[in-house]
């Protein structure tokens, strides 16, 4: 007798048709993690606070909310003018980021006496700020950054000087902006000023009144010189001026900045570098016009040193550092001999040599080295590593004349080795004794010549 057939397996009948209503066919599938980009939206939906309003992603509302503290109008692509904001008297954060068609901000913004954070990033069509901006006495952060597309703003109202509590002012990616108002010197609470990617050529003389300024950024700007009396910025800790192609002068008064820790000014036309403050921890300088490298013997706290001088033939002297892990990068095309400097930097842990086109021999390196990188030294023929017992990383790339690496088989601490683009290098010693060597990449050496 044949067993009774399962009714669920009869032709045309699916077992899932008999599932209970409260069951799901995907119940056994693990739930995927939440997508980070939606984290704010999810948090907003879960927040039970009655004083919230999310107007992001093109949503636009005009409800009066006198207790509202955060108003997010980001990515409202059709917004051309902000609404009347006079009713939002409790507002502390206003976000207008990526409102790319925003042309003006309503003058009623001056009523927001509790506003602390104003974000106007990537509002590329916004040309002017209302004078009433100066009424925002509680404002601590004003962000006007344009990342992908440049903005069209050409001036900053002088009323900005009334923002007595402003700590961070960022005006970036605005090539039409050529000056800052003199009233900028009245921002006594300002700790960070960022004018990167603007056409500002010179900071107003009143800038020296910013006694609390700690960070100055002017990357990719048209700055030609720094303020003569910049030593009055007594709390300044960091100066960033990367790709300042028109910068010609660093004032001698810079040595009075006793708290300065980071000085990064690259691709400049600076001809003379004055004595620098002893407090520097990181120094990065490059110039196409300098002929004599700066004196840095007093920089005893240096941990990072990067120098690139296309016309300089020497370094005045290295400091005797008190630190334990300094890094040095030299890009000096006209250097002929460099060995005489190593005795002065016996503290060096990391060294990069880039585009040292006149360098033929690399010898007597500091025995303290842990990392050594040599890139694009076109005339380099011999590298002597005999005394580098503690070397852990060795990278030699694009040195077409290199024929010999001495002492490579003695580097018992070596963990990473990379040799590429060294077409004249015909042989390597036996590396079997290098027990710690984990990463090894050697190119352009014939197998028959390896030992």
pLDDT in tens, the chain (451 residues): 444 445 444 444 444 444 454 556 767 777 776 666 566 666 767 777 766 666 555 434 445 568 899 999 999 999 999 999 998 999 999 999 999 999 999 999 999 999 999 999 999 999 999 999 999 999 999 999 997 778 789 999 999 999 999 999 999 999 999 999 999 999 999 999 999 999 999 999 999 999 999 999 999 999 999 999 999 999 999 999 999 999 999 999 999 999 999 999 999 999 889 999 999 999 999 888 887 767 787 888 888 888 887 765 455 545 554 444 467 777 666 555 555 555 556 667 888 888 888 888 898 888 889 999 999 999 999 999 999 999 999 999 999 999 999 999 999 999 999 999 999 998 888 898 899 999 888 875 654 444 4
What pLDDT is recorded for position 244? 96
The 8-class DSSP code of residue 276 comes to: P
Residue 357 is assigned to a structural domain of this protein: no
pTM of the model: 0.75
- Secondary structure element (H or E) that encloses residue 419, with its range: strand 416-420
Confidence (pLDDT) at 323: 45
Flag whether 215 is in a domain.
Answer: no
Q: How far apart are CA 183 and CA 85, in angstroms?
A: 26
**In angstroms, rounded to a whole number, what is the distance separating the alpha carbons of residues 104 and 283?**
42
DSSP secondary structure letter of residue 410: G
- CB of 114 within 8 A of CB of 89? yes
Domain range enclosing 103: 49-167
pLDDT on residue 13: 46
Structural domain contains residue 313: no
Characterize 389-400 residue by residue with b for buried, 16 or more Cβ atoms within 10 angstroms of its Cβ, and e for exposed: eebbbbbbbbbe
> Residue 186: in which H helix or E strand, if any?
none
Q: What's 158's DSSP letter?
A: G
Task: Evaluate whether residue 425 is within a structural domain.
Answer: no
CATH number at residue 140: 3.80.10.10
Q: CA-CA distance, 110 to 188, in Å (whole number)?
A: 20
SS3 label, residue 93:
strand
- Say how far apart CA 332 and CA 12 lie, in whole Å: 81
Domain assignment present for 444? no
Instruction: Name the helix (H) or strand (E) containing 45.
Output: helix 39-46
Look at residue 303 in the predicted model and tell me its pLDDT. Answer: 83
Query: In this structure, how many other beta carbons lie within 10 angstroms of the beta carbon of residue 9?
Result: 9
Q: Say what the pLDDT of residue 357 is.
A: 82
User: What strands lie across the sheet with 404-406, from one edge to the other?
Assistant: 361-362, 382-384, 404-406
Q: Radius of gyration of the chain from Cα atoms?
A: 31
Confidence at residue 249, expressed as pLDDT on a 0 to 100 scale: 93
Q: What is the SS3 assignment for 118?
A: strand
Tokens of 180: 């800052």
The DSSP result for 354-387, as a single string, is E--TT--EE-S--TT-SEEEEE--TT--EEE-TT
Enumerate long-range contacts of 408-411, CB under 8 Å, 24 or more apart.
409/433, 409/434, 410/385, 410/386, 411/385
d(CA 302, CA 278): 9
Which residues pair with residue 225 across a beta bridge?
A: 249
Compute the distance between CA of residue 171 and CA of residue 169 in angstroms, rounded to an integer: 7
Q: Residue 320 contacts by C-beta under 8 Å, 6 or more apart in sequence?
A: 297, 300, 344, 347
Residue 135 lies in a domain: yes
Positive or negative CA dihedral for 151, 153, 158, 163? negative
Instruction: Confirm whether 30 is domain-assigned.
Output: no
Sole residue written with tokens 């000085």: 263
The count of domains in the chain is 1
Cα angle 250, 252, 253; round to 5: 105
Of the candidates 357, 309, 347, the residue with the CA atom closest to the CA atom of residue 327:
347
- Cα four-point dihedral sign 227, 231, 237, 242: positive
The one-character DSSP state at 289 is: S
User: Does a structural domain hold residue 239?
Assistant: no
């Amino acid at each position: 007798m044949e067993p009774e057939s399962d009714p669920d397996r009869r032709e045309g009948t699916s077992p899932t048709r008999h599932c209970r209503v409260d069951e799901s066919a995907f119940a056994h599938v693990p739930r995927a993690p939440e997508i980070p980009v939606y984290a704010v939206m999810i948090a907003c939906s879960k927040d039970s606070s009655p004083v919230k309003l999310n107007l992001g992603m093109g949503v636009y509302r005009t409800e009066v909310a006198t207790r509202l503290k955060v108003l997010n109008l980001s990515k409202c692509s059709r917004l051309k003018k902000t609404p009347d904001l006079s009713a939002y008297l409790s507002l502390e954060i206003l976000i207008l980021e990526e409102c790319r068609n925003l042309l003006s901000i309503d003058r009623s913004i001056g009523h927001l006496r509790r506003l602390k954070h104003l974000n106007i990033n990537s509002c590329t069509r916004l040309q002017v700020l209302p004078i009433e901006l100066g009424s925002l006495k509680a404002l601590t952060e004003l962000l006007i950054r344009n990342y992908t597309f440049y903005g069209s703003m050409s001036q900053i109202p002088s009323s900005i000087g009334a923002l007595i509590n402003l700590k961070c002012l960022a005006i970036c990616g605005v090539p039409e902006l050529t000056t800052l108002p003199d009233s900028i010197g009245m921002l006594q609470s300002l700790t960070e000023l960022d004018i990167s990617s603007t056409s500002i050529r010179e900071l107003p003389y009143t800038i020296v009144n910013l006694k609390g300024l700690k960070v100055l950024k002017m990357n990719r700007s048209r700055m030609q010189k720094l303020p003569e009396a910049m030593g009055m910025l007594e709390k300044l800790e960091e100066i960033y001026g990367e790709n300042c192609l028109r910068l010609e002068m660093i004032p001698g008064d810079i040595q009075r900045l006793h708290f300065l820790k980071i000085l990064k000014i690259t691709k400049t036309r600076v001809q003379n570098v004055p004595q620098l403050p002893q407090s520097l921890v990181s120094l990065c300088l490059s110039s196409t016009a300098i002929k004599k490298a700066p004196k840095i013997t007093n920089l005893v706290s240096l941990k990072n040193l990067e120098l690139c001088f296309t016309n300089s033939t020497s370094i005045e002297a290295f400091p005797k550092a008190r630190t334990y892990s300094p890094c040095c990068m030299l890009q000096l095309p006209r250097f002929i001999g460099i060995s005489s400097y190593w005795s002065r930097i016996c503290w060096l842990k990391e060294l990069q040599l880039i585009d040292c086109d006149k360098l033929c021999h690399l010898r007597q390196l500091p025995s303290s080295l842990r990392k050594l990188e040599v890139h694009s030294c076109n005339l380099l023929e011999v590298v002597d590593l005999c005394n580098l017992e503690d070397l852990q990383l060795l990278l030699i790339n694009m040195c077409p004349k290199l024929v010999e690496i001495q002492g490579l088989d003695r580097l018992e601490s070596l963990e990473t080795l990379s040799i590429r683009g060294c077409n004249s290098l015909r042989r390597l010693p036996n590396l079997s004794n290098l027990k710690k060597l984990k990463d090894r990449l050697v190119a352009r050496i014939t197998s028959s010549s390896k030992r």
